Chain A
Amino acid sequence: MPEYKYHELGDLAKEAPKLFGIPTGTKLDEMFFKIEEEDGALVKKPLGGLPYLSVFNISGIPDTGKSLFAEQFAAYQASKGYKVLFVTVESPANFLYSAIKEKCKALSLDFDEVEKNIVVIDASEEEELRENPKALMETMAYAIKEKKITNVIIDSITGLYEHKEVMARQIVRQFFNFLKKWRQTGLFVSQKRSAQASESVEAAGGLAVAHIVDGTIVVDKKLIMSQREASLYKKPIGDVIRLIRIDGCRLSGHDSRTWVFEITELGIVNIIAPLAEYIRR
């Protein structure tokens, strides 16, 4: 008789990950929460970051701050002494180095500490790493094992299936499972075609990849082109308003509102306020 693997729910208690946040260094950290009992009442407590061991997509059209967010997360975690693996598929590693160095200056983070704690896999220039998921995963496994990595960023996951989009789900699934197996908190940068509306399912990564990951952060921008929009958003015509929202999270509670954020001149993601509040100001 074949042997089937099953668990009694109670047996999984020891294996279940603890629920706490991995800070990103942005206000997003306050947008995830958990429910705790306090004096007999249930209260909502901020998680303080992305849920530990979760794998998130950050999705958006070009120039919406996806990579900036990912770099900020990497720098922030590394500055706290946590080892980060940054798989760069788009930008060559030397450019990433400069970007993170600048970010540290702007955020007053200790670059020496950050530099020590980030390991980069440069798949942007090495075809084998970009085209062969198995080779990339083996390389990542080495880095995770030998450098004691706890957080993994892939910028971008889309770059691993460009020109073969039918493979999208399969590739995302493989990397998702890989990060789960190696007990990593992960962030996938996912590029969205500009033709896909921000409220559509494609906004969350396209091709149903959002169903695979634990949750999606959607970033978007809107060019202010009418007087009405100008007075609504209190910005001059021609300016850009940037929006961010958490589009589902299966590991913890989360703020489901759309928030306004800015990218400062120094390339820092600064989340300001919920859109509704921002308009009322």
Chain B
Amino acid sequence: MEIITKAKGGNVDEMAEKVFMESIRILGGLKKLVEYRNLTWLPSLAEAAYVIVLRNETIKTYREIAETLGITEQTAKNIATADEEKVKSYIMEGGERPNEHIAGGIAKLAYKTLKQKGELEKIEIKEEEVEALGIDWAVHVLAAIKGMDFPAEKEALKERLHEMKIMGKDAEEILEKIEYPVKSPAELLHKIKEKLHD
């Protein structure tokens, strides 16, 4: 009798991507991998990221995971049961290579980190939800200022945001009221929001 004790769901592909990226970060970033000519690790990491997400976030058996990914059941098992602590100390401190699935251990570390930070299930807000929340203007502003250099001055911002309406008000009018220079896109949104509520 299969017993499920944890909530399952969410987007597997998205979660696997996040685990994959976090695994690379744990290894010191993509640049480090290039420098040490370790790019061949990437396929194993991708595979391991999927196994870990499928094992922990869905209710697939090892056999089903193996079939989904086109790997053997034993590989899926080795990845999911790798001792991440042993792998961690091997990566950090070197020494003798443990008899564990290295990519599996790294993906598990990445999965745990994301899970602890609550970043794995972070809800991505969809377009219609953004509109329903009345915060779609922020998306439009960010799209309009894409590629701009910050800190930014009034004229540069006005050029990008001219003719734009923010919650019924002229963007240019709002830009007149805020203080310059604006240090970052986040600060711009913040300042616009303040003026909207004035």
Contact = CB atoms under 8 A, between A and B. Distances in A.
Given A119-B59, A147-B59, A142 B8 contact: yes
Interface residues of A, number: 23
B6 interface: yes
A128 B3 contact: no
Given A119-B59, A146-B59, A147-B59, A139 B10 contact: no
Contacts of A129: 6-7
Interface in A123-172: 125-126, 128-129, 132, 135-136, 138-139, 141-143, 146-147
B11 to A, nearest CB: 11
A135 B7 contact: yes
A120 B3 contact: yes
Interface of B is mostly: loop
Given A119-B59, A146-B60, A146-B64, A141 B4 contact: no
A98 to B, nearest CB: 11
Contact of B7 (A93, A100, A120, A126): A126
B4 A119 contact: yes
A109 B59 CA distance: 26
B8 A139 contact: yes
A122 B7 CA distance: 9
A139 B9 contact: yes
B4 A138 contact: no
A121 B8 CA distance: 10
A142 B59 CA distance: 7
B2 interface: yes
Contacts of A118: 1-2
Interface in B46-97: 58-60, 64
A147 B3 CA distance: 12
A18 to B, nearest CB: 29
B8 A138 contact: yes
A13 to B, nearest CB: 34
B116 interface: no
Interface of A: 93, 97, 100, 115, 118-122, 125-126, 128-129, 132, 135-136, 138-139, 141-143, 146-147
Interface of B: 1-10, 58-60, 64
Q: Which 5 A-B pairs have the closest CB atoms?
A: A138-B9, A135-B7, A139-B8, A93-B3, A142-B8
10 contacts: A93-B5, A115-B1, A125-B5, A126-B6, A128-B6, A138-B7, A138-B10, A139-B4, A142-B58, A146-B64
